[in-house]
């Protein structure tokens, strides 16, 4: 079997075990570059895809390839310089193409005479440098990178959807910045769908519709934000459809964002839904704990805020929301603590902020007895077992968490905690507290247990 056939069969096998969007993002443009002995070199359109594919799909690729070649392969992941279809001048027969193939790419089609560029209106703050990538957005990020590498060719249109404040506009504009950095001559425009609609109406009133059409249909890259806005607006949809087609047919890159996936936008014409589905659709989810922590770390270093690591962890654990709300809540916290005149935001400030602990000046509601009983109840164990001698794993973990809570939330001395927890030595309490402190920042399960217990204070 030749290399192309091997890879084609391998991809067929993979296609049935991943979702269509994963297949399209990661595999549709991959190539088996070399196969020497048991070493297979697989090439991807850009380093991000190669890196992500290696991290996420190594074993999937290996088992499919092993299956096809009846060998125990080692895989190498590399980047190819140009998409294969550009090299041999025609579309690769191996893969479904996702973009219209034009004879020239936007990069190479510099016109002899170019009218003045429209302002791109990109926000300088929305760039890749400060865009944190995690599980919630790495698909969308990889797709955006592929578009930067090959505008108009990689994925067209690129449709990014997700709830409010998850980073759609930031990612879209960062993509715009990066495209312009590589190709400063491209005519790129960012507009919200609302602006598009309003300009259209104004142009009708002012009888300047052809100027309006010209402005949008002459672009090389069109970033249109919150496209759901045109739902139910018949005339705007009609005009957008023609703008979309004109750009698409000319191989120009279109990126759209929306709060829903195309087929779920109510009152959007079918012909637009199917156009939007014709490229790649990616979503952005709410950030997970690690991403929230990374976003907050970036925020505190930008704003020069001093916060103790335990306090930051607690904050990142407690606010399970979108990025905009996380930043908003954190701003609130810093405002609140700035009036308290403390050098560093500490665990206490964060606990108070979320109402997990009585405010300074109020009598402490929580006693050590109450804390111990909450821990026993949470783990469904008897208090006598929690304080007893058994070294059973579940009991030990519960005991360590109790020690941690008594230390961090009640500020009790180690010796006293040892006495409360059934007569234990203060050094073992110290180890227990350190251990849970560490687990709090590394182990999601433990973090969840602690936050749940604290909610009942
Ligand atoms: P959306 O368009 O999805 O409503 P935005 O792109 O406006 O969300 O993002 C809201 C805020 O959160 C912005 O200030 C943005 O810079 C920030 N933000 C969102 N995602 C990230 C991220 N992954 N890394 C850093 N900041 C982010
Ligand atoms: Mg937005």
Digits of tens for pLDDT over the chain (457 positions)? 888 999 999 999 998 888 777 888 788 889 998 888 888 889 988 777 787 788 788 889 999 999 999 888 888 888 776 544 433 333 333 332 223 333 333 333 333 344 444 455 799 999 999 999 999 999 999 999 999 999 998 899 999 999 999 999 999 999 999 999 999 999 999 999 999 999 999 999 999 999 999 999 999 999 999 999 999 999 999 999 999 999 999 999 999 999 999 999 999 999 999 999 999 999 999 999 999 999 999 999 999 999 999 899 889 988 889 999 999 999 999 988 887 778 899 988 898 888 776 554 454 567 899 999 999 999 999 999 999 999 999 999 999 999 999 998 888 999 999 999 999 999 999 999 999 998 987 888 898 898 889 878 7
Do 66 and 133 belong to one domain? no
Report CA(168)–ligand 2 centroid distance (Å).
Answer: 5
pLDDT attached to residue 16: 85
Do 158 and 224 belong to one domain? yes
In a domain, 401, yes or no: yes
Do 315 and 372 belong to one domain? no
pLDDT attached to residue 84: 40
Do 137 and 243 belong to one domain? yes
Choosing from 170, 289, 300 the residue with most ligand 1 atoms within 8 A of its CB, the one to mutate for a pocket test is 170
Provide the number of structural domains found in the chain: 4
Residue 165 CB–ligand 1 contact under 6 Å: yes
Domain final residue pick, 226, 249, 284: 284
Do 383 and 430 belong to one domain? yes
Domain final residue pick, 306, 329, 354: 354
pLDDT attached to residue 357: 64
Rounded to whole angstroms, how far apart are CA atoms 265 and 273? 8
Rounded to whole angstroms, how far apart are CA atoms 409 and 406? 6
Do 392 and 347 belong to one domain? no
pLDDT attached to residue 28: 87
Choosing from 140, 227, 323, 327 the residue with most ligand 1 atoms within 8 A of its CB, the one to mutate for a pocket test is 323
Closest ligand 1 atom number to CA of residue 323: 12
Domain region containing 313: 289-354
- Nearest C-alpha to atom 6 of ligand 1 is from which residue? 167
Q: Cα 148 from chain centroid?
A: 17
Domain final residue pick, 284, 319, 336: 284
Residue 450 CB–ligand 1 contact under 6 Å: no
Ligand lying closest to the C-alpha of residue 226: 2
Closest ligand 1 atom number to CA of residue 133: 23
Do 151 and 261 belong to one domain? yes
CA-CA-CA-CA torsion sign (44, 48, 54, 57):
negative
Phi, psi of 8 (to 5 degrees): -60, -45
Ligand lying closest to the C-alpha of residue 326: 1
Residue 177 CB–ligand 1 contact under 6 Å: no
Do 271 and 139 belong to one domain? yes
In a domain, 135, yes or no: yes
Residue 163 CB–ligand 1 contact under 6 Å: no
Report CA(224)–ligand 2 centroid distance (Å).
Answer: 10
pLDDT attached to residue 105: 36
Residue 286 CB–ligand 1 contact under 6 Å: no
């Amino acid at each position: 079997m030749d290399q192309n056939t091997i890879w084609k069969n391998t991809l067929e096998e993979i296609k049935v075990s991943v979702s269509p969007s994963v297949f399209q993002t990661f595999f549709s443009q991959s190539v088996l570059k070399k196969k020497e002995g048991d070493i297979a070199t697989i090439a991807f359109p850009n380093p991000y895809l190669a890196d992500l594919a290696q991290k996420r799909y190594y074993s999937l690729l290996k088992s499919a390839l092993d299956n096809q070649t009846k060998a125990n392969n080692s895989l190498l992941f590399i980047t190819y310089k140009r998409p294969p279809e550009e090299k041999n001048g025609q579309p690769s027969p191996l893969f479904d193409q996702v973009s219209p193939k034009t004879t020239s790419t936007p990069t190479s089609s510099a016109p002899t005479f170019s009218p003045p560029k429209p302002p791109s209106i990109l926000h300088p703050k929305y760039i890749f440098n400060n865009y944190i990538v995690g599980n919630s957005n790495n698909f969308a990020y990889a797709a955006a990178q592929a578009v930067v590498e090959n505008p108009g060719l990689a994925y067209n249109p690129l449709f990014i959807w997700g709830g409010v404040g998850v980073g759609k506009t930031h990612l879209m504009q960062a993509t715009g910045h990066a495209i312009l950095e590589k190709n400063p001559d491209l005519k790129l425009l960012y507009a919200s769908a609302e602006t598009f609609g309003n300009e259209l109406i104004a142009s009708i009133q002012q009888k300047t519709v052809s100027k309006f059409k010209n402005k949008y249909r002459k672009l090389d890259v069109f970033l249109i934000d919150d496209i759901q806005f045109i739902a139910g607006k018949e005339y705007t949809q009609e005009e957008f459809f023609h703008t979309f087609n004109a750009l698409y047919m000319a191989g120009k890159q279109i990126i759209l964002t929306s709060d829903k996936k195309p087929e779920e936008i109510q009152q959007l014409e079918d012909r637009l839904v199917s156009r939007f589905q014709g490229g790649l659709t990616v979503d952005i989810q709410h950030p997970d704990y690690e991403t929230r922590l990374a976003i907050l770390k970036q925020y505190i270093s930008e704003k020069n805020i001093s916060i103790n690591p335990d306090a930051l962890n607690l904050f990142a654990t407690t606010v399970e929301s979108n990025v905009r709300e996380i930043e908003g809540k954190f701003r609130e916290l810093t405002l609140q603590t700035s009036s308290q005149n403390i050098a560093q935001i500490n665990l206490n400030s964060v606990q108070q902020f979320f109402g997990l602990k009585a405010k300074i000046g109020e009598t402490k509601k929580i006693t050590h007895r109450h804390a111990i009983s909450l821990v026993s109840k949470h783990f469904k164990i008897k208090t006598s077992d929690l304080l007893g001698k058994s070294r059973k794993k579940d009991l030990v973990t519960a005991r360590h968490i109790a020690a941690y809570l008594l230390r961090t939330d009640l500020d009790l001395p180690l010796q006293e905690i040892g006495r409360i927890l059934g007569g234990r030595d203060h050094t073992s309490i110290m180890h227990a507290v350190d251990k849970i402190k560490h687990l709090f920042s590394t182990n999601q399960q433990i973090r969840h247990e602690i936050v749940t217990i604290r909610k009942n204070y």
